[in-house]
C-alpha cells in the first residue's frame, strides 16, 4: 500500500531466525548450495527469485525435486519420486537376482548373443529306425554330475539371498584325469538352468535327469545346461529319462537347441536347432508311480574343447529383462511415454516390473477417454517364448513408427513382462516358489503367498474402475501343438455374440504363416476358472485371451514344417499391435466382414458336428441358439490341477494342524450357567420319559364289527416311579352308540394290571361320564374320581353329565361279568389311535 515506506524499511529488515534454521536444514540435506546463513543480501536474493523465476537456476538455490533441461533452465515439472526408480541406476549395477537359500549358484555370468539363422530350420523327419536306448541308471553307469541339496515335495520356501546358498560352491563335475579324458563336464547352477543329474552309461552316451519344480515332485519339461570338454567329429547321445508328458512335439520333428561358445565368439552364430535320431518314448523303468517318458537324440559338436549349451527353447532370463528395461529407462525419448514401476516383490524379494505406456494427453478429458490394454508374460517360467513375443511388442510400441505413436495416443498400455521372476531364476517349468501354478490362482485372496498374481488382479480391478479395458492378453508357450493360437471365452451376451472371436480372426489374417485360427478354442472349462483369462473375463473384459506359442514351429504357409526363430516370435508382437489398430478402426468394414465370416464358419462347424452324429439340422432357423460350448471340444492345455490348492508352506502347516486335531481328545463343553444346566436336564428328562411311555403302550381289543372308530387311550405317567396308567374306552353292545370305557392301570415294577370295567347305562340312555383311576406310587392306593366335562364320544349330539364320582378312599366295586375285557365273537380293529400323554414334573 505504501511503496515508498516499504522501500525505506526493507534494507533495515533483519534475518528471520526460522528462515536461518530452514536454510541450515535444507543445506544439510543437499537441497541448497551456498552459504549456511543468508543475511540481508541473501534475503534480497530470495526476494529477487520471487520476482524473476529465472533466478532459480542459480547454484545457490537448486532443488533436486525440479527438472532442468540441457540449457540448465528450470522446468516447472517435479521429478518422479526417487524410490520408484531406485532399482535402476545408469551408473550402478543391476539388481542381482535373489535365490532360495538352498540353491547353489556359480559366480559366472552366462550371456548369449541373439542370432537369426540365414536358412529355415526344418523339422526332423523320423525314419522309423531311430534307436531306443534302454535305461541303465547309475547302478551300471557313472554319475558325473548331481545336485546335492534340492528342495522337493515336503519342503517349502523360507528365505532368499543374493547368490543363493552360503559358503563355498562345490565342484560337482568330475575331475579330469588328463588331456585324454573325454568325459563331459556338466553344469546347470546358473540363472534359469535345469539339470539334476548326469550319468555316463557309455563312452559318449549320457542319461540325464531333470530337476522338478522347486518344492514339488512334478513338472519336468524345461532343460537348460552347459557341457564342456567336447570332442568334434564324434557322435554323442543324450537321453532325458524323467519327462512327464505322454505327448510332445519332439515326437513330430521338433529339435533341441544348441549354442556353441566358440561359434558365437568366432562366427557370431547363436542358438540353432541340432539333433539326429530324435525319439520320444515311454520309459521302461516302472517305479509304481506316474509313468515317465524319455527323449533321446544324437549330436556332433563343432569344435574340440568347446563350451556348449542345450535348452528346450531360447532362454530369456530375469537379467535379460532387467538389461532391456534399463535401456528403456536410460533412453531420453522412450522414458517420456514409458513409465517403469515396481508392481510388487515376489516371494524371494525380486521385483515384478510394471510398464505404463501412453503418450501424454493434452487435457484431462482426453486422458480419461483412453481405453486400456493389459499384457503379461512368463507366469509359467519355462515358457520363454512368451518373453520373446513380449519383447517384439515392446520394441514396436516404443518405436517412432506412426502406428506406434497412434496406439500410444488412443490407448494406455499396462505391461507386466515377467509375472513369475522367482520361477524364471531357479529354472522352474511351471510353478512359483510356493510350489503352485500361479495361473490357477487368480481368484486367490492369499496376498502373501501369491503376491504377483494378487497385485496384478488388483491393478486390473482398479484400472476397470477408471476406464474400459479393451484387451487382456497373457503370453504362454505350448509343448504339444504347433503354430500360434489362443484361448478365449465365449460371450454369454447376445449383444456381443461372436465378438470375442473377431480379434483372433484378424490376427490370423495379419500373420497367416504363424497364427492358426482353427486351433483357437473359446470354451470355458471348470478346471480353468482360476486362470487369468477366465478371471479377467468374469471381471468384465470381453476380449480376454491366452496366446499360446508353440515350442516347435509352423505348419502354415511359407513357414510350413520349419522351427520358429526369435525373430518369428518378436514379429508376432508387432502383429498384435497391428491387429489392435484393425480391431479399433473407426471404419468398421473389417470388423463387419470378420463377423460375417465367423457366422459362416460357425454354420459349417454346426453342420459338420450334426453330420457326424447322423442328424440333420435346419441352419436357416434358430442355429444361433445352439450353445457354442457344445460345439467346441475341450482345450488341450496342460493339466495343472495337480498344482492347485494351498501353497507348499501353508499345506505343511495344515497337515501339522490336522495331525494335532486327531491326537487331541474331544472334550464335552461344560454348561456355564445354572439356567443352561436346568434346560439341558429338562430336555434329557423329557426324552427319557417319552421313550418309556412309547414302550409301555399296548393296544387292547377292538370294537364290534360295524363300529367305525376305536375309543381313544388315555395314559397317565408319573415321572418319579415310572408308573403308567392306561385307560381304554371300550364301545357298547351292537346297536348302541358307545360302550362304557375301561380303565387299565399298569404297574411297571411288578407288572400288575388292574382292570376296572365301568358299566354303561341302559340302551337308549346317554353315556355316563367315564372314571379315571389314579395309582399312588408309595402305597399303591387307587383313587377313583369322575372327571367332569369329559366325553367319550366325539359326536356333538352326545351329552356330558357332570356327576360326582365315588370318594377317593372308596374302591369301585364294578361287576366284572357284565363287560368282559375280551369277547370271542368280536374281531380286533386294526386301526391304532394315538394316546394322550400327561406328564408331571418333579
**Residues with catalytic function:** 548
Closest CA to 357 of 413, 418, 417: 413
The answer to whether 512 and 600 are in contact (CB under 8 A) is no
Kind and range of the H or E run holding 586: none
Phi-psi region of 743 (alpha: psi -120 to 50; beta: other; left: phi over 0): beta
The answer to whether 767 and 738 are in contact (CB under 8 A) is yes
Cell of 49: 527469485
Q: How far apart are CA 605 and CA 617, in angstroms?
A: 12
Cell numbers 489374417 correspond to 509
Measured torsion, CA atoms of residues 99, 101, 106, 107, in degrees rounded to the nearest 10: 70
Q: Cα–Cα–Cα angle for 743, 749, 750, nearest 5°?
A: 75
Q: What single string gives the DSSP state of each residue in 59-116?
A: TTS--TTEEE-TT--EEEEEPPPGGGGTT--SSSPPPPPEEETT-B--SPPP------
Helix and strand numbers, DSSP H then E, in the chain: 18, 31
Closest CA to 337 of 315, 356, 309, 311: 356
- Name 22's Cβ contacts closer than 8 Å, sequence gap at least 6: none
Q: What single string gives the DSSP state of each residue in 408-477?
A: HHHEEEEEES-S-HHHHHHT-SS--TTSS-GGG-TT---TTTSHHHHHHHHHHHHHHHHS-EEEEEEEEE
The answer to whether 305 and 229 are in contact (CB under 8 A) is yes
Q: How far apart are CA 226 and CA 186, in angstroms?
A: 6
Q: How far apart are CA 15 and CA 69, in angstroms?
A: 33
The answer to whether 758 and 821 are in contact (CB under 8 A) is no
Can you give the C-alpha Rg of the chain in angstroms? 45
Measured torsion, CA atoms of residues 65, 71, 72, 78, in degrees rounded to the nearest 10: -10
Query: Is the sign of the CA dihedral 380, 381, 383, 386 positive or negative?
Result: positive
Cell numbers 505350448 correspond to 478
Amino acid at each position: 500500500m505504501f511503496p515508498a515506506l516499504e522501500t525505506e524499511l526493507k534494507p533495515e529488515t533483519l534475518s528471520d531466525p526460522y528462515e536461518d534454521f530452514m536454510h541450515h536444514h535444507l543445506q544439510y540435506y543437499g537441497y541448497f548450495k551456498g552459504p549456511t546463513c543468508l543475511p540481508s543480501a541473501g534475503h534480497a536474493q530470495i526476494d529477487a527469485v520471487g520476482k524473476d523465476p529465472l533466478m532459480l537456476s542459480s547454484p545457490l538455490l537448486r532443488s533436486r525435486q525440479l527438472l532442468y533441461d540441457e540449457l540448465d533452465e528450470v522446468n516447472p515439472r517435479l521429478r518422479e519420486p526417487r524410490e520408484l526408480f531406485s532399482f535402476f541406476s545408469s551408473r550402478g549395477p543391476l539388481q542381482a537376482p535373489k535365490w532360495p537359500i538352498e540353491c547353489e549358484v556359480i559366480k559366472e555370468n552366462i550371456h548369449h548373443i541373439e542370432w537369426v539363422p540365414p536358412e529355415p530350420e526344418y523339422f526332423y523327419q523320423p525314419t522309423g529306425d531311430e534307436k531306443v536306448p534302454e535305461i541303465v541308471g547309475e547302478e551300471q553307469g557313472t554319475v558325473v554330475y548331481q545336485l546335492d541339496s534340492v528342495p522337493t515335495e515336503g519342503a517349502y520356501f523360507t528365505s532368499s539371498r543374493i547368490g543363493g546358498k552360503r559358503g563355498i560352491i562345490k565342484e560337482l563335475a568330475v575331475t579330469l584325469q588328463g588331456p585324454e579324458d573325454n568325459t563331459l563336464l556338466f553344469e546347470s547352477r546358473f540363472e534359469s538352468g535345469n539339470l539334476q543329474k548326469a550319468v555316463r552309461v557309455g563312452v559318449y552316451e549320457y542319461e540325464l535327469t531333470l530337476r522338478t519344480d522347486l518344492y514339488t515332485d512334478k513338472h519336468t519339461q524345461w532343460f537348460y545346461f552347459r557341457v564342456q570338454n567336447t570332442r568334434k567329429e564324434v557322435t554323442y547321445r543324450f537321453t532325458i529319462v524323467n519327462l512327464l508328458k505322454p505327448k510332445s512335439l519332439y515326437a513330430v520333428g521338433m529339435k533341441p537347441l544348441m549354442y556353441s561358445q566358440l561359434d558365437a565368439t568366432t562366427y557370431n552364430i547363436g542358438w540353432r536347432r541340432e539333433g539326429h535320431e530324435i525319439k520320444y518314448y515311454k520309459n521302461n523303468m516302472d517305479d509304481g508311480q506316474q509313468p515317465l517318458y524319455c527323449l533321446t537324440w544324437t549330436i556332433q559338436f563343432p569344435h574340440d574343447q568347446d563350451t556348449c549349451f542345450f535348452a528346450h527353447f531360447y532362454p530369456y532370463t530375469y537379467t535379460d529383462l532387467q538389461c532391456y528395461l534399463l535401456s528403456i529407462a536410460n533412453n531420453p525419448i522412450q522414458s517420456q511415454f514409458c513409465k517403469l514401476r515396481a508392481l510388487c516383490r515376489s516371494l524371494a524379494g525380486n521385483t515384478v516390473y510394471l510398464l505404463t505406456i501412453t503418450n501424454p494427453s493434452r487435457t484431462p478429458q482426453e486422458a480419461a477417454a483412453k481405453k486400456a490394454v493389459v499384457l503379461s508374460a512368463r507366469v509359467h517360467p519355462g515358457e520363454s517364448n512368451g518373453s520373446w513375443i513380449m519383447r517384439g511388442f515392446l520394441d514396436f510400441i516404443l518405436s517412432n513408427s506412426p502406428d506406434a505413436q497412434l496406439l500410444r495416443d488412443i490407448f494406455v498400455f499396462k505391461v507386466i513382462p515377467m509375472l513369475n521372476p522367482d520361477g524364471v531364476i531357479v529354472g522352474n517349468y511351471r510353478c512359483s516358489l510356493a510350489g503352485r501354478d500361479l495361473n490357477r490362482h487368480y481368484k486367490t485372496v492369499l496376498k502373501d503367498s501369491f503376491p504377483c498374481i494378487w497385485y496384478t488382479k488388483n491393478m486390473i480391478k482398479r484400472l476397470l474402475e477408471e476406464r474400459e479395458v479393451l484387451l487382456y492378453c497373457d503370453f504362454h508357450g505350448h509343448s504339444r501343438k504347433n503354430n500360434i493360437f489362443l484361448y478365449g471365452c465365449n460371450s454369454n451376451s447376445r449383444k456381443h455374440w461372436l465378438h470375442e472371436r473377431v480379434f483372433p480372426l484378424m490376427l490370423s489374417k495379419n500373420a497367416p504363416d504363424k497364427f492358426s485360427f482353427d486351433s483357437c478354442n473359446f470354451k470355458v472349462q471348470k478346471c480353468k476358472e482360476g486362470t487369468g483369462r477366465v478371471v479377467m473375463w468374469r471381471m468384465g473384459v470381453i476380449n480376454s485371451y491366452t496366446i499360446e506359442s508353440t515350442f516347435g514351429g509352423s505348419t502354415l504357409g511359407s513357414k510350413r514344417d520349419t522351427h520358429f526363430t526369435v525373430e518369428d516370435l518378436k514379429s508376432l508382437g508387432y502383429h498384435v499391435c497391428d491387429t489392435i489398430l484393425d480391431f479399433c478402426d473407426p471404419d468398421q468394414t473389417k470388423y463387419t466382414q470378420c463377423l460375417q465370416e465367423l457366422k459362416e464358419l460357425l454354420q459349417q462347424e454346426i453342420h459338420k458336428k450334426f453330420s457326424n452324429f447322423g442328424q440333420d439340422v435346419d441352419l436357416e432357423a434358430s442355429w444361433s441358439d445352439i450353445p457354442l460350448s457344445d460345439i467346441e471340444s475341450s482345450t488341450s492345455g496342460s493339466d495343472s490341477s495337480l498344482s492347485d490348492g494351498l501353497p507348499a508352506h501353508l499345506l505343511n502347516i495344515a497337515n501339522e494342524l490336522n495331525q494335532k486335531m486327531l491326537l487331541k481328545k474331544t472334550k464335552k463343553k461344560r454348561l456355564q450357567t445354572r439356567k443352561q444346566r436346568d434346560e439341558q436336564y429338562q430336555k434329557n428328562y423329557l426324552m427319557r420319559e417319552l421313550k418309556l411311555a412309547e414302550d409301555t403302550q399296548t393296544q387292547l381289543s377292538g370294537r364290534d364289527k360295524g363300529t367305525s372308530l376305536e375309543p381313544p387311550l388315555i395314559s397317565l405317567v408319573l415321572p418319579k416311579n415310572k408308573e403308567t396308567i392306561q385307560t381304554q374306552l371300550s364301545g357298547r353292545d351292537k346297536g348302541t352308540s358307545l360302550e362304557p370305557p375301561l380303565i387299565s392301570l399298569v404297574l411297571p415294577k411288578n407288572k400288575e394290571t388292574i382292570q376296572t370295567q365301568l358299566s354303561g347305562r341302559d340302551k337308549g340312555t346317554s353315556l355316563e361320564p367315564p372314571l379315571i383311576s389314579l395309582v399312588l406310587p408309595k402305597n399303591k392306593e387307587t383313587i377313583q374320581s369322575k372327571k367332569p366335562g369329559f366325553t367319550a364320544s366325539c359326536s356333538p349330539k352326545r351329552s356330558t353329565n357332570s356327576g360326582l364320582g365315588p370318594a377317593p378312599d372308596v374302591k369301585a366295586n364294578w361287576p366284572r361279568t357284565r363287560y368282559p375285557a375280551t369277547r370271542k365273537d368280536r374281531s380286533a380293529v386294526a386301526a391304532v389311535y394315538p394316546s394322550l400323554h400327561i406328564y408331571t414334573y418333579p
